[in-house]
Amino acid sequence: QKEVEQNSGPLSVPEGAIASLNCTYSDRGSQSFFWYRQYSGKSPELIMFIYSNGDKEDGRFTAQLNKASQYVSLLIRDSQPSDSATYLCADMEYGNKLVFGAGTILRVKS
Amino acid sequence: DADVTQTPRNRITKTGKRIMLECSQTKGHDRMYWYRQDPGLGLQLIYYSFDVKDINKGEISDGYSVSRQAQAKFSLSLESAIPNQTALYFCATFDGNTGELFFGEGSRLTVL
């Protein structure tokens, strides 16, 4: 059974700063990782996915994958109050099943 | 209208009652999922279905059953609800081209 670990937070950053969210996973053979954002009382929505070692950038978001360390991170540049949410890291199992971490609460202070 | 629709959105029931949560989708995806979310525990997979004839248990299927009535419909049932099934339940569909899960708006269930 795959496991995904995240620090529950809350992580507090000032507006305009870089927020760094981290996730570790148990299965060394895992290939695909996803970051979902969930606003309070709402459903999760996909921000980014990453399959390869290294960095993947999309606007203010950068996902980083280090397979040797079994570590995935999400960087949010120029953080805005609207980025305040819970961020869920997920690992994909056989059968296209996502195994989610418990999520990290991010608070961006204006 | 939402692409993935869940009903009811909120339900309060009593221990021992049978409850059905319904999910319908207009995205045309074959794969559908039911997840449960508890505070501090993230999303846990209850059941998933690859198509109408292919239904599989997830990590926490005990106490739940499902029915895939059509490609677009996937229902979750609690045969005899108990208080520790109080949670937020999400239905989701999977886009095989992008690897993305599309979630419904959630069904909040309270079992007294």
Tell me if B59 and A1 make a contact (CB, 8 A cut-off): yes
pLDDT tens digits for range A31-84: 899 999 999 989 999 999 999 889 999 999 999 999 999 999 999 999 999 999
Q: Assess A42–B contact: CB distance below 8 Å, yes or no.
A: yes
pLDDT tens digits for range B24-80: 999 999 999 999 999 878 899 999 999 999 999 999 999 999 999 999 999 999 999
Residues of chain A in contact with residue B35, where contact means CB-CB under 8 angstroms, are 100
β-bridge partners, A40: none
pLDDT at B1: 63
Residues of chain A in contact with residue B99, where contact means CB-CB under 8 angstroms, are 32, 34, 49, 92, 96
pLDDT tens digits for range A24-44: 999 998 989 999 999 998 999
Q: Which of A6, A43, A96 sits opposite B90 (nearest CB)?
A: A43
Residues of chain B in contact with residue A100, where contact means CB-CB under 8 angstroms, are 35, 42-44
pLDDT tens digits for range B79-97: 999 999 999 999 999 998 8
Nearest to B50 by CA among B97, B99, B96: B96
CB–CB of B66/B34 below 8 Å?
Answer: yes
How many degrees, rounded to 5, is the angle at CA A104 between CA A101 and CA A108?
A: 160
